[in-house]
Amino acid sequence: MLSAPSPASPAALPTPTPVSGAVATLQALVAEGVDTIFGYPGGAIIPIYDALYDFKAQLNHVLVRHEQGGIHAAQGYARSSGRVGVALATSGPGATNLVTGLADALIDSTPVVCITGQVFAHLLGTDAFQETDIINITTPVTKWNYQVTRAEEIPEALAKAFYIARSGRPGPVLVDITKNAQMQLFDAPEYQPCTHIRSYRPAPVVRRKYVEQAAALINSARRPFILWGQGVVLGGAEAEFREFVEKSGIPAAWTILGTGALPTGHPLNVGMLGMHGNYGPNVLTNECDVLIAIGMRFDDRVTGRLDKYARQAQIIHLDIDPTEIGKNVPTAVPVWGDCKETLPLLTALIEPKQHTAWLARFNDHLAQEVAAVIREELFPTSEELTMGEVMQQLNEITQGEAVIVSDVGQHQMVACRYARQNQSRSHVTSGGLGTMGFALPAAIGAKFGAPHRPVVAVIGDGGFQMTIQELGTIMQTGVDVKIIILNNQFLGMVRQWQELFHQRRYSFVDIQSPDFVAVAAGYRIAGQRVDARAELRPALEKMLAHPGSFLLEVLVTKENNIFPMVPQGCSVAEIRLR
Amino acid sequence: MRLLRVARNDKRFQSAKIMDRQEYNITAYTENQVGLLNRIAIIFSRRKINIESLNVSPSEIEGIHRFNIVIVETEEVVEKLAKQIEKQVEVLKVYYNTNADVIWQEMALYKVPTDVIAEKVLVERLLRENGARAVVIRKDYTVFETTGHREETDNLLKALQPYGLIEFVRSARIAIIKASDGFHHKLQEFERREPGEEVAENEFLNDRDAVFTM
């Protein structure tokens, strides 16, 4: 077997030096600024792992317990840091275990580069041991993928991979490298980052005509309304967005992935949109005259019934992805481009205004919602603990400075609705795909991506058991992740739907759980279980003060429902408070 | 409030699309990349849209391939599909046109017993009337070729069936857009705006033995 030479200075090679494909792979990662990789070794990726042995100083490899955990961790890393997450896996089952994470990253526009090992090139298509056609399997769930069969292709393929993953509308890419390509020695040229691909135009030329039309529409509007999504965060346009909102004086509501781009406490932030969003933003969507959608995609969980969605409004849509403009709702003014570029152009053309009476209507609706739902959720009068009060107490302790990573289900909606956020990139969740099991590994990744911020994972008892094995990753790396399990002893969101829409036929939603604190102890992670109100606050304080990871299990009321709610097939204006 | 009539008048973003389903010709200019056909096919199959005809060939520009795809759909759907195809990294440009906007052809091959052709003057006349050309003449059969629109090739098919037609095959549609000045101009514009390197291709399949060096 050929052995890879030990790299003296992997980041910059002045002259061609014979290296193995595996070394070239790691040199490319270093050159792209990667500092952390999440992965799991296996037969077809051994050469890269062998080379990694000599790259320990430059690349921190986190050994996860399952490849799905690896890619979710890479997603968490990307979401909390704004950088590209990297996951490594072997061929066959290792590669297929990435599929859920790829689908999640694609729908949530998360920049991730996955590198998979593949069987020797001469074995391709022969049903070799641990061979799967991962390129074809992942085609629908990647922004781009590519199979490398020769070492010479590696630098360019990885340069393209990183460029595609992070530019335009970000997304996951997968580079599959055959074992012979990893082992083959070749004269590696100096690494050249990719800045252009002939057929790929991630940054459109902004057409000023449409910006002017948008400004004219906004200036003539009496009841304008802003909907913002993750595009603001992905574009790094938080400051530009805030300037636009404040000059226009327009009430603004967010999709769950847009959360945090405008602080929770901002007077023009009127709350969350969609199925479990706030009452006012949903009702008043059908009363505004101009709807300004910024970096969001009119997901069905946001719009409810499309034929009854904002039919009265002229819609201005700012988005970097042209396929999103006009996809679900008819658009009056398409502003195609990166909102970091388009928003300042728009802000310059709009008149400073205050829409006091219109904004007051949002606040009136909020008062109604507080009375009907929020007060009892956050400050319950019943004996049993609620998910909302856990978030409320957490807010008071962290003051909105923590990165919250939520899983999928009722607790996710509670976390999204009630988590206070002072800054962007403070909430990592699986929005589009709704992947249970996302939060624990994503929280590990989020901590590596934002090491100086407290990271709190909020997870249901169901989702936690889907990737519970990643406690092993926490144990081995010593990463500091605070875990709150909101245990209602049900698959709560499904139970809620069965209660509301299926005559309380609770079909297989009653889930038994292990002693989570004991399980954590088995992984040498500290923990506590709380089922009384008096214990909650001290336990949360203890958890946050604890040096290192901590698992806090909170037994919450079993059959609580998440309201408000737009029932499926209804208009957003038909949102139920109860 | 006076609502502005703005981009709704722009053809690309018209919201009121013609709701009638009809044949549309989608023309995509792409890199010559392994796997891209699958990527494009998935865009149709995930929406359960049937591709009526698909032709892929090199274009007039080296390294750039041209897809001609025919589907029966409403303009609204076709526009969204075209955008989704154009969004793929290796796709340079996508156009969609109705049949009236393109010049299109399909080729058909007919295998007929030679003794029938030799003996029956009627068949010979049929072939001549349809502009058919003999491609192969053997003792046992003769293969004729015609090109034209679907109805034209269908007509000859129907006419030959009573005379012992052995086999028939029709090609995918190829189409040229009446109003376009080709893709050269557009590509030059792309390159002028963002010049770049050529794109690497997976050459393994042409080079199977040389790849494996271990």
Q: What does DSSP assign to residue A98?
A: T
**pLDDT tops 50 at residue B10:** no
The C-alpha of A480 sits at a distance from chain B's nearest C-alpha, in angstroms, of 38
DSSP, collapsed to helix, strand or coil, labels residue A554 as strand
Residues of chain A found within 8 Å of residue B1, distances taken between Cβ atoms: 220-222, 289
Q: What is the mean pLDDT of residues B35-51?
A: 96
- Supply the pLDDT for residue A14: 58
Residues 253-292 of A with CB under 8 A from B: 289
| Low-confidence winner among A64-73, A199-208, A504-513, A533-542 (lowest mean pLDDT) | A199-208
Contact at 8 Å (CB) between A281 and A288? no
Cis peptide before A564 (omega within 30 of 0): yes
Band (pLDDT 50/70/90 cuts) for residue B110 is very high
- Supply the pLDDT for residue B1: 34
Band (pLDDT 50/70/90 cuts) for residue B6 is very low
Residues of chain A found within 8 Å of residue B193, distances taken between Cβ atoms: 205
Task: Please give the backbone phi and psi of residue A18, each rounded to the nearest 5 degrees, phi first.
Answer: -65, 120
Tell whether A180 is within 8 A of chain B (Cβ).
yes
Band (pLDDT 50/70/90 cuts) for residue A62 is very high
- Supply the pLDDT for residue B18: 63
Q: Cα angle vertex A534, ends A532, A540, to 5°?
A: 90
The C-alpha of B138 sits at a distance from chain A's nearest C-alpha, in angstroms, of 39
Tokens of A134: 């991962």
B190·A147 Cβ contact <8 A: no
Please report the beta strands in A355-454, taking only residues with DSSP state E, as ranges in sequence order.
Answer: 403-406, 427-429
Q: What is the mean pLDDT of residues B28-53?
A: 95
**pLDDT tops 70 at residue A149:** yes
Q: What is the mean pLDDT of residues B165-191?
A: 87
Residues 133-172 of A with CB under 8 A from B: 135-136, 139-140, 143-150, 153, 156-157, 160, 164
DSSP, collapsed to helix, strand or coil, labels residue A444 as helix
The C-alpha of B185 sits at a distance from chain A's nearest C-alpha, in angstroms, of 14
- CA A321/CA A334 separation, integer angstroms: 11
- CA A479/CA A441 separation, integer angstroms: 11
- Of the candidates A26, A117, A38, the residue with the CA atom closest to the CA atom of residue A78: A38
Tokens of B23: 């044949």
**Mutate: best of B44, B62, B75, B204, partner A, most A CBs <10 A:** B204
**Mutate: best of A3, A198, A288, partner B, most B CBs <10 A:** A198
- Chain centroid to CA A492: 22
Contact at 8 Å (CB) between A287 and A312? yes
A213·B4 Cβ contact <8 A: yes
Token pair 């630098």 is at which residue?
A155
Q: What is the mean pLDDT of residues A323-344?
A: 95
| Low-confidence winner among A230-234, A260-264, A282-286, B176-180 (lowest mean pLDDT) | B176-180
Q: What is the mean pLDDT of residues A134-159?
A: 98
Contact at 8 Å (CB) between A241 and A294? yes
Provide the CB-side half-sphere exposure for A448 (13 A, CA): 31
**pLDDT tops 50 at residue B15:** no
- Supply the pLDDT for residue B207: 47
Q: What is the pLDDT of residues B44-80, one digit of tens each?
A: 999 999 999 999 999 988 889 999 999 999 999 999 9
- Residue pairs between chains A and B whose CB atoms are closer than 8 Å: 125
DSSP, collapsed to helix, strand or coil, labels residue A516 as helix
Question: Where is pLDDT greater, at A575 or B16?
Answer: A575
Q: Please list the residues that pair with A200 across neighbouring strands.
A: A197
Arithmetic mean of pLDDT over chain B: 83
Contact at 8 Å (CB) between A262 and A420? no
- Kindly indicate whether the ipTM for this predicted assembly is greater than 0.85, answering yes or no: yes
Residues of chain A found within 8 Å of residue B190, distances taken between Cβ atoms: 198, 201
Arithmetic mean of pLDDT over chain A: 96
Amino acid at position A10, single letter: P
- Supply the pLDDT for residue A203: 85
- Of the candidates B118, B172, B113, B164, the residue with the CA atom closest to the CA atom of residue B140: B113
B15·A140 Cβ contact <8 A: no
Q: What is the mean pLDDT of residues B98-111?
A: 96
Q: What percent of chain A stands above pLDDT 70?
A: 97
The C-alpha of A202 sits at a distance from chain B's nearest C-alpha, in angstroms, of 9
**pLDDT tops 70 at residue A162:** yes
Q: What percent of chain B stands above pLDDT 90?
A: 61
Q: What does DSSP assign to residue A470?
A: G
**pLDDT tops 80 at residue B202:** no
- CA B74/CA B85 separation, integer angstroms: 17
B42 closest CB neighbour out of A140, A196, A330: A140
Q: What is the mean pLDDT of residues B30-34?
A: 93
Band (pLDDT 50/70/90 cuts) for residue B101 is very high
Annotated catalytic residue A353: no
**pLDDT tops 90 at residue B196:** no
Q: What is the mean pLDDT of residues B67-96?
A: 96
Q: What's this model's pTM, rounded to 2 decimal places?
A: 0.92
Catalytic site residue from A75, A131, A147, A179: A179
Nearest CA in chain A to B194: A196
- Supply the pLDDT for residue A573: 94
Q: What is the pLDDT of residues B146-168, one digit of tens each?
A: 999 999 999 999 989 988 999 99
The C-alpha of B78 sits at a distance from chain A's nearest C-alpha, in angstroms, of 11
A323·B90 Cβ contact <8 A: no
Residues of chain B found within 8 Å of residue A220, distances taken between Cβ atoms: 1-2, 4
Q: What is the mean pLDDT of residues B157-181?
A: 92
The C-alpha of A296 sits at a distance from chain B's nearest C-alpha, in angstroms, of 17
Residues of chain B found within 8 Å of residue A196, distances taken between Cβ atoms: 194-197
- Supply the pLDDT for residue B11: 46
**pLDDT tops 90 at residue A133:** yes
Q: What is the mean pLDDT of residues A298-314?
A: 96
- CA B156/CA B142 separation, integer angstroms: 15
Question: Where is pLDDT greater, at B208 or B155?
Answer: B155
Alpha helices in A502-570 (DSSP H): 516-522, 533-545
Annotated catalytic residue A247: no
Q: Cα angle vertex A104, ends A100, A106, to 5°?
A: 115
Band (pLDDT 50/70/90 cuts) for residue A11 is low
Q: What is the 3-state secondary structure (H, E, C) of chain B?
A: CCCCCCHHHCHHHCCCCCCCCEEEEEEEEEECCCCHHHHHHHHHHCCCCCCCEEEEEECCCCCEEEEEEEEEECHHHHHHHHHHHHHCCCEEEEEEEEHHHEEEEEEEEEEEEHHHHHHCHHHHHHHHHCCCEEEEECCCEEEEEEEECHHHHHHHHHHHHHHCCCEEEECCCEEEECCCCCCHHHHHHHHHHCCCCCCCCCCHHHCHHHHCCC
- Supply the pLDDT for residue B200: 38
- CA B94/CA B65 separation, integer angstroms: 12
**pLDDT tops 80 at residue B212:** no
Residues of chain A found within 8 Å of residue B208, distances taken between Cβ atoms: 121-122
Q: What is the pLDDT of residues B120-153, one digit of tens each?
A: 778 788 888 899 999 999 999 999 999 999 999 9
Calculated CA dihedral for residues B12, B17, B20, B25, nearest 10 degrees:
10
Burial A137-170 (b: 16+ CB within 10 A, else e): bbbbbbbbbbbbbbbbbbbbbbbbbbbbbbbbbb
Q: What is the pLDDT of residues A410-437, one digit of tens each?
A: 999 999 999 999 999 999 999 999 999 9
Q: What is the mean pLDDT of residues A344-354?
A: 98
B13·A149 Cβ contact <8 A: no
Q: Cα angle vertex A162, ends A24, B207, to 5°?
A: 55
- Supply the pLDDT for residue B121: 77
Neighbours of A465 (CB within 10 A): 20
